């Protein structure tokens, strides 16, 4: 199942370090080639010899003078990796990985990896709950790392709580899942738009909407993970741009239209998840309007419809749009799909709890050109991104893109 996969197993200085030997054994049993790297303190808890005996390879540790991996072992050990796992991950290595600090064999090697990262933390429950540790975990998640949460149980310090290293089985399962991820969009050039646009009334006031960019950013990250070459064009959001994509920030609908039309000829898939403003003030004032001088009416004009604008050049490209509706969801979505010549429309209700703008989850219906209507259950935006991309993968196969 993992045969031929090259995995780095990072072991840091925790009482749970001995459990990493079991993780190593399980990875080896599944056919992986595992290279073990110790943090500076790991060998206080367990001997490298255990790991070199099981893996059949020298362990890279902090003894720079005698490294069997060569004088630049921290680079050599990361060449051609499919996955890096840190198990157990202490608060120290989480902090170093989140901050980009490289001061021992493991933290230095981690900076040189360009493969998915799986982290299984283990520590005292108060340390785990510390907001700084949690912030470091969030930072690592945002940069694409997957976390196997620790379990609740009796800890080495004699306290019962969350912080116990997850079971070797669940860590290896998570690794298998990451490595089995599909690469069905390999080589596809995809544009994803995300977030709201802002249409300025004057330099300090604008018309916008509550889009957070979560949906579009989740699609961009998932498409990247499935092998697509992604350009993410996003209005202003708090979301971090995913790594390894081309990120083009824009502010207004006109800027987004310009960025999309410039890139459109070179793409095979366009997914318009952005909540583009349909109106802008007819006149944008260059100075802040004083309230005593303000007109109480703002004249608006329509912005260009970005999807309609590229429709004439569609060719074999796959176009995906969203329809955010408060009423008559299906009919409105079907009408928009037809009007905008879309291959797929993602219809979602806005205005109810747990779905739509600024929510972690979304309840959507997928409608395609052939009339397929797939009403999905309430999903996280990441899960929904996966469903949309499954459909794009099918359309791609059918349309020979």
| Shorter beta-carbon distance to ligand CTP: residue 10 or 216 | 216
Helix (H) or strand (E) holding 36: strand 33-38
Task: Read off the tokens for 122.
Answer: 């283990």
- Which among 164, 64, 83 is positioned nearest to 120, based on CA atoms? 164
**DSSP per-residue string spanning 39-60:** -TTGGGTS-HHHHHHHHSSPPB
Q: Is 38 left (phi over 0), alpha (psi -120 to 50) or beta?
A: beta
Q: Check: CB of residue 91 under 8 Å from CB of residue 75.
A: no
Q: Residue 332 CB, nearest distance to ligand CTP (Å)? A: 7
- Which among 127, 114, 126, 121 is positioned nearest to 150, based on CA atoms? 121
Q: Residue 314 CB, nearest distance to ligand CTP (Å)? A: 13
Chain residues binding ligand CTP by CB under 6 A are: 253, 272, 274, 276, 278, 303, 305-307, 321-324, 336
Catalytic residue (one of 115, 157, 183, 267): 157
Please report where in the chains the tokens 């362990």 appear, as a residue.
Answer: 59
**Residues linked to residue 366 through DSSP beta bridges, in sequence order:** 346, 374
Q: Residue 360 CB, nearest distance to ligand CTP (Å)? A: 21
Q: Cis peptide before 34, with omega less than 30 degrees from 0? A: no
Q: Residue 350 CB, nearest distance to ligand CTP (Å)? A: 9
| Shorter beta-carbon distance to ligand CTP: residue 223 or 253 | 253
Determine how β-strand 199-202 pairs with β-strand 279-281. unpaired
| Shorter beta-carbon distance to ligand CTP: residue 121 or 216 | 216
| Shorter beta-carbon distance to ligand CTP: residue 288 or 302 | 302
Q: Residue 358 CB, nearest distance to ligand CTP (Å)? A: 16
- Tell me if residue 183 is catalytic: no
| Shorter beta-carbon distance to ligand CTP: residue 160 or 328 | 328
Cα–Cα distance for residue pair 21/297, rounded to 1 Å:
70
- Which among 58, 5, 13, 14 is positioned nearest to 36, based on CA atoms? 58
| Shorter beta-carbon distance to ligand CTP: residue 110 or 350 | 350
Give the single-character DSSP code of 306.
H
Q: Residue 204 CB, nearest distance to ligand CTP (Å)? A: 24
Q: Residue 54 CB, nearest distance to ligand CTP (Å)? A: 52
Task: Read off the tokens for 353.
Answer: 């709890």
| Shorter beta-carbon distance to ligand CTP: residue 213 or 321 | 321
Cα–Cα distance for residue pair 373/344, rounded to 1 Å:
10
Cα–Cα distance for residue pair 238/234, rounded to 1 Å:
11
Task: Read off the tokens for 149.
Answer: 């949460």
Measured CA distances, 241 to 21, 64, 123 (Å): 36, 36, 30
Q: Check: CB of residue 306 under 8 Å from CB of residue 256.
A: yes
Please list the active-site residues. 157
């Amino acid at each position: 199942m993992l045969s031929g996969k090259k995995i780095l197993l990072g072991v840091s200085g925790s009482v749970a370090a001995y459990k990493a030997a079991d993780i190593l054994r399980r990875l080896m049993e599944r056919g992986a080639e595992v290279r073990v790297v110790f943090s500076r303190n790991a060998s206080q808890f367990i001997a490298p010899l255990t790991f070199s005996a099981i893996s059949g390879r020298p362990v890279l540790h902090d003894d720079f003078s005698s490294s069997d991996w060569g004088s630049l072992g921290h680079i050599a050990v990361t060449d051609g990796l499919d996955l890096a796992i840190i198990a157990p991950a202490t608060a120290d290595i989480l902090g170093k990985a989140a901050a980009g600090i490289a001061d021992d064999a493991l933290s230095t090697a981690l900076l040189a990896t360009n493969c998915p990262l799986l982290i299984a933390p283990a520590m005292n429950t108060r340390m785990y709950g510390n907001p700084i540790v949690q912030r470091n975990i969030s930072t690592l998640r945002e940069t694409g790392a997957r976390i196997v949460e620790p379990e609740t149980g009796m800890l080495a310090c004699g306290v019962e709580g969350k912080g116990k290293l997850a079971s070797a089985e669940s860590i290896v399962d998570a690794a298998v899942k990451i490595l089995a991820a599909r690469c069905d969009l390999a080589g596809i050039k995809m544009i994803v738009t995300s977030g709201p646009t802002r249409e300025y009334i004057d330099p300090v006031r604008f018309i916008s909407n509550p889009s957070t960019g979560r949906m579009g950013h989740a699609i961009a990250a998932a498409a990247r993970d499935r092998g697509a070459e992604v350009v993410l064009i996003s209005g202003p959001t708090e979301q971090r741009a995913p790594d390894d994509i081309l990120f083009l920030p824009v502010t207004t609908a006109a800027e987004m239209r310009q960025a999309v039309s410039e890139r459109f000829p070179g793409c095979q898939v366009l997914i318009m998840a952005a909540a583009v403003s349909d109106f802008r003030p007819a006149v944008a004032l260059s100075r802040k309007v004083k309230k005593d001088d303000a007109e109480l009416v703002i004249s608006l004009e329509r912005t260009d419809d970005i999807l309609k604008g590229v429709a004439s050049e569609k060719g074999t490209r796959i176009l995906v749009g969203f329809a955010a509706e408060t009423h008559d969801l299906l009919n409105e979505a079907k009408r928009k799909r037809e009007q905008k010549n879309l291959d797929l429309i993602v219809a979602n209700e806005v205005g109810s709890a747990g779905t739509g703008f600024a929510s972690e989850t979304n309840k959507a219906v997928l409608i395609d050109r052939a009339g397929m209507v797939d009403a999905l259950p309430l999903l996280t935006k990441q899960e929904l991104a996966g469903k949309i991309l499954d459909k794009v993968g099918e359309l791609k196969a059918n349309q020979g893109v």
